[in-house]
């Protein structure tokens, strides 16, 4: 059984079906866990006491949480997910998701929507979970429908620890993919690194040993790395990007790497990230 931790209010309507598609790729049913954040507004009379206000807020929060839980469970049923779990957490969203991820295989999140009033909070939630979670995260674009996930996979490879972690975490999906392409980008203004062919062959042998057929490419580009990656994903008609997430994270401070931040802002297809 593949267990997928997801947070209901930050997932687009199609997220549960995308979770099911990803789980089906590894030949196991999904058991999503929905974590519902509690934040809302409540109105009471002007003469009410602070205790009355607290009770009204708590009742409104509980009603919202139960409604979100019902929507999540209904989406799971419609997606054919027989085993699922919904949890109402009275805790910080990111901290709750990171803790829940420890007993799940993957976390599914939605890209922050730029025009949404809670854009900053949603963007920070994704960054917190991606950088703190012990499990990989699949981030879905806030717009669009995806009939397939992980049929054509583009792997961004720089031979770093984060990239190696992402490839290892995505192995169940890579084994089922129709086509996998590993790409390393070099800046056109720099001297070509003669070590890349040997490094690519080492990765290819390892992936082949795990049942993954793969094409390797080294591409020289004058574009920014984020733009080069997304352009290659479009040319390859990829339905999933696999990449390492780069950054430093404390609960009170986050610093995403430039490429990680750029992809999270401009992504047009699902992205699997590991830190």
Cα torsion 217, 223, 225, 231: sign = negative
| Residues 51 and 157 occupy one common structural domain | no
Which structural domain range is residue 108 located in?
2-140
For 3, left (φ over 0), alpha (ψ -120 to 50), or beta? beta
**CA 142 remoteness from chain centre:** 11
Total number of domains constituting the chain: 2
pLDDT for res 30? 47
- Please report which helix (H) or strand (E) contains residue 240, including its range: strand 240-244
Q: Determine whether 26 is exposed, middle or buried from the number of CB atoms within 10 Å of its CB (0-12, 13-18, 19+).
A: middle
| Residues 23 and 135 occupy one common structural domain | yes
| Residues 156 and 247 occupy one common structural domain | yes
pLDDT for res 35? 52
The token duo for 207 is 């992936």
Counting DSSP H helices and E strands in the chain, the numbers are 9, 12
CA angle 259/264/269 to nearest 5° reads: 110
| Residues 103 and 229 occupy one common structural domain | no
Closest CA to 15 of 91, 89, 106: 106
Residue 146, domain member (yes or no): no
Place of tokens 């209904």: 74
Residue 244, domain member (yes or no): yes
Q: Does 5 score more than 60 pLDDT?
A: no
Q: Does 173 score more than 90 pLDDT?
A: yes
Span 133-138, average pLDDT? 92
Grade residue 143 by pLDDT with cuts at 50, 70 and 90.
confident
Closest CA to 272 of 196, 178, 172: 172
Q: Does 132 score more than 80 pLDDT?
A: yes
Residue 176, domain member (yes or no): yes
pLDDT for res 251? 40
Rounded Cα distance between 251 and 242, Å, is 25
Is 274 within 8 Å of 166 (Cβ atoms)? yes
Rounded Cα distance between 62 and 43, Å, is 15
> What value does the mean pLDDT of the chain take?
81
Span 104-131, average pLDDT? 89
Least confident of 69-83, 142-156, 199-213: 69-83
Query: pLDDT digit string (tens) for 157-167?
Result: 999 999 999 99
Query: pLDDT digit string (tens) for 19-44?
Result: 554 544 544 444 555 554 545 455 55
Give the CATH number of the domain where residue 204 resides: 3.40.50.620
Least confident of 8-12, 157-161, 196-200: 8-12
Grade residue 146 by pLDDT with cuts at 50, 70 and 90.
confident
Residue 18, domain member (yes or no): yes
Query: pLDDT digit string (tens) for 220-244?
Result: 999 988 899 999 999 999 999 999 9
Q: Does 79 score more than 50 pLDDT?
A: yes
| Residues 18 and 103 occupy one common structural domain | yes
Between 15 and 218, the higher pLDDT residue: 218
SS3 67: helix
Rounded Cα distance between 131 and 202, Å, is 27
Span 249-260, average pLDDT? 54
| Residues 193 and 267 occupy one common structural domain | yes
Rounded Cα distance between 26 and 147, Å, is 17
Rounded Cα distance between 47 and 172, Å, is 59
Q: Does 15 score more than 80 pLDDT?
A: no
Return the DSSP state at 191.
Answer: P
Q: Which range has the top average pLDDT, 68-82, 84-98, 168-182?
A: 168-182
């Amino acid at each position: 059984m593949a267990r997928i931790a997801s947070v209901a209010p930050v997932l687009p309507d199609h997220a549960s079906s995308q979770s099911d598609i990803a789980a089906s790729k590894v030949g196991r049913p999904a058991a999503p866990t929905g974590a519902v954040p509690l934040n809302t507004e409540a109105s009471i009379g002007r003469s009410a006491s602070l205790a009355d206000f607290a009770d009204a807020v708590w009742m409104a929060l509980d009603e919202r949480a139960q409604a979100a839980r019902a929507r999540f469970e209904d989406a799971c049923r419609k997606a054919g997910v027989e085993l699922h779990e919904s949890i109402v957490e009275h805790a910080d969203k990111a901290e709750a998701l990171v803790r829940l991820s420890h007993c799940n295989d993957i976390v599914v999140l939605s890209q922050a929507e730029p025009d949404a009033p809670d854009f900053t909070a949603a963007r920070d939630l994704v960054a917190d979970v991606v950088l703190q979670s012990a499990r990989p995260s699949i981030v879905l674009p806030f717009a669009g429908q995806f009939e397939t996930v992980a049929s054509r996979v583009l792997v961004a490879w720089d031979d770093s620890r984060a990239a190696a972690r992402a490839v290892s975490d995505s192995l169940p999906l890579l084994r089922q993919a129709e086509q996998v392409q590993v790409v390393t980008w070099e800046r056109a203004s720099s001297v070509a690194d003669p070590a890349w062919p040997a490094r690519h062959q080492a990765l290819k042998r390892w992936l082949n040993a795990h049942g993954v057929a793969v094409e390797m490419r080294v591409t020289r580009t004058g574009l920014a790395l984020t733009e080069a990656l997304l352009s290659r994903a479009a040319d390859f008609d990829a339905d999933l990007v696999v990449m390492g997430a780069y950054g430093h994270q404390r609960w009170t401070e986050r610093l995403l790497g430039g490429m990680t931040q750029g992809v999270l802002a401009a992504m047009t297809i699902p992205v699997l990230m590991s830190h």
